[in-house]
Amino acid sequence: MSAGAPSKTRAFRPAKLRKGNSVKRRQAKWAYVFLSPAILLFLVTVIYPMLRSLQYSFFKWPLGNAKKTFIGFDNYQKLLFQDDLFHTSVKNTLYFTILTVIPTIAIALGLALLLNSKQLRGRGVFRTIYFIPVVTSLVAVSYVWRWLLEPTFGLVNTALGWIGIDGPGWLADPGWAMEGVIGMTIWRDVGYYMVIFLAGLQTIPKEIHEAASIDGANAWQRFRRVTFPLLNPSIVLAAIIGVIYGLQLFTQVYVMTGTPSKLPGGPLNSTTSVVLFIVQQAFRPLEMGYSSAAAILLFLLIMVVTLVQLKVVQRKFEY
């Protein structure tokens, strides 16, 4: 961020000035030495696979079959205009993302505001409790929630029964399965965003709040005009992380909706996510090319959504 800083100190480096070019060359040599492990691993695990993905996406290529057939944009065309399951998976993933990110951020922000008071007793305990789900294994808590959401003896419907609500069938009901996955994800992630917001709140100087109070601003006005704008960077960060994360939905769906006899993504494909689609296409009908095309589309989706968010969110809350 402060890339301009080093140039200022350069004037005070007599040793370097005297030696000039040879020092510069020596420096560059060492820089490449320090960079080489990371760059090498990047080439193998990121750049090469990414380019390969792009390449595969233009081929018809069943796994385990040596023969690749070039078919141009056929995979993309099929995905975009014909494959209903892919469309469903995109819709499901977007639905999941929107309905997890917005409530999670809202709840986390509320919790952070409630906890952001030095006088509050038990502040550390609350912070720890809310953070605990973040460090629990996602696979483990997905199994836990599978049973919590069980329609007849599950804890969720029992608790709803106490307040007179007849709970839905959750994971067994196509109309409620994704909501079950969403509820579980909000529960698990809210503490993480809360911690990001708490860190953001701590950077806001107390004096600003005091000044606003003296000027007669009430609590809501102080939140709306002082806290919220100053917290904007944290909120933007949280929204972007949340969306990138959300669009990669896989583990919860895989664990919560699959059984050995039944593919995950059900009931009636109501929870099939894009990543689940990618994995199933690659390893079930063994179509690596088609699956790669879907992966490239997911990448484009994530990139576009992230860039749009950066633009929109920043402009909206500028102050």
Partner 1 sequence: MALPTVFRRRAGSALRYTVLTSGAVVMLAPLIWMVFAGFKTLPEILTVPPTILPNGWAFDNFISVLRDTPFVRYFFNSVLVAAITVGSVLITSSMAGYAFAKFDFPGKNILFVLVLATLMIPFQVRVIPLYVLASDLDLLDSYVGLVLPGLVDAFGIFLMRQFMQSIPSDLIDAARVDGASEPRIFLKIVLPLAKPALSALAIFTLVASWESFLWPLLVVSSPDKFTLPLGLAQFSGRFITRVDLQMAASTLTVLPLLIVFLFMQRRFIEGMATSGMK
Site for partner 1 in 180-219 (CB under 8 A): 187, 190-192, 195-196, 198-199
CB of 73 to partner 1, least distance (A): 18
Residues 6 and 184: their CA atoms lie apart, in Å, by 48
Site for partner 1 in 164-183 (CB under 8 A): none
Site for partner 1 in 290-319 (CB under 8 A): 291-292, 295-296, 298-299, 302-303, 306
Binding residue for partner 1, selected from 17, 120, 165, 268, defined by CB under 8 A = 120
Q: Does 260 bind partner 1 (CB under 8 A)?
A: yes
Residues 6+ apart with CB under 8 A from 310: 236, 240
Place of tokens 């059900």: 266
Q: Which is nearer to partner 1, 165 or 303 (CB)?
A: 303
CB of 316 to partner 1, least distance (A): 21
Binding residue for partner 1, selected from 17, 65, 70, 143, defined by CB under 8 A = 143
Q: Which is nearer to partner 1, 34 or 319 (CB)?
A: 34
Residues 145 and 148: their CA atoms lie apart, in Å, by 5
- 3-state class (DSSP) for residue 49: helix
Binding residue for partner 1, selected from 18, 66, 152, 315, defined by CB under 8 A = 152
Q: Does 136 bind partner 1 (CB under 8 A)?
A: yes
Binding residue for partner 1, selected from 98, 106, 132, 308, defined by CB under 8 A = 132
Q: Does 1 bind partner 1 (CB under 8 A)?
A: yes
How many other CB atoms sit within 10 Å of the CB of residue 94?
Answer: 17
Binding residue for partner 1, selected from 80, 138, 160, 230, defined by CB under 8 A = 138
- The CA-CA-CA angle for residues 271, 272, 275, to 5°, reads 130
CB of 134 to partner 1, least distance (A): 7
CB of 250 to partner 1, least distance (A): 6
Q: Does 144 bind partner 1 (CB under 8 A)?
A: yes
Q: Which is nearer to partner 1, 47 or 165 (CB)?
A: 47
What's the token pair of residue 193? 């965003």
Q: Does 50 bind partner 1 (CB under 8 A)?
A: yes
| Per-residue exposure over 12-36, b if at least 16 CB sit within 10 Å of its own CB, e if not | eeeeeeeeeeeeeeeeeeeeeeeee
Residues 99 and 15: their CA atoms lie apart, in Å, by 59
Site for partner 1 in 60-99 (CB under 8 A): none
Residues 292 and 17: their CA atoms lie apart, in Å, by 52
What's the token pair of residue 271? 């929870």
Site for partner 1 in 10-49 (CB under 8 A): 12-13, 15-16, 24, 27-28, 30-35, 37-39, 41-42, 44-49
CB of 48 to partner 1, least distance (A): 7
Residues 317 and 319: their CA atoms lie apart, in Å, by 6
Q: Which is nearer to partner 1, 24 or 87 (CB)?
A: 24
Cite the DSSP H helix spans in the chain: 5-10, 14-19, 21-42, 48-56, 74-81, 84-115, 123-131, 138-148, 155-162, 177-202, 206-214, 219-222, 228-247, 251-257, 274-283, 288-316
What's the token pair of residue 76? 């993309």
Q: Does 251 bind partner 1 (CB under 8 A)?
A: yes
Binding residue for partner 1, selected from 98, 283, 285, 308, defined by CB under 8 A = 283
Residues 6+ apart with CB under 8 A from 319: 229, 232
- 3-state class (DSSP) for residue 287: strand
Q: Which stretch binds partner 1 (CB under 8 A): 174-182, 210-218, 278-286, 310-318?
A: 278-286
Q: Does 131 bind partner 1 (CB under 8 A)?
A: yes
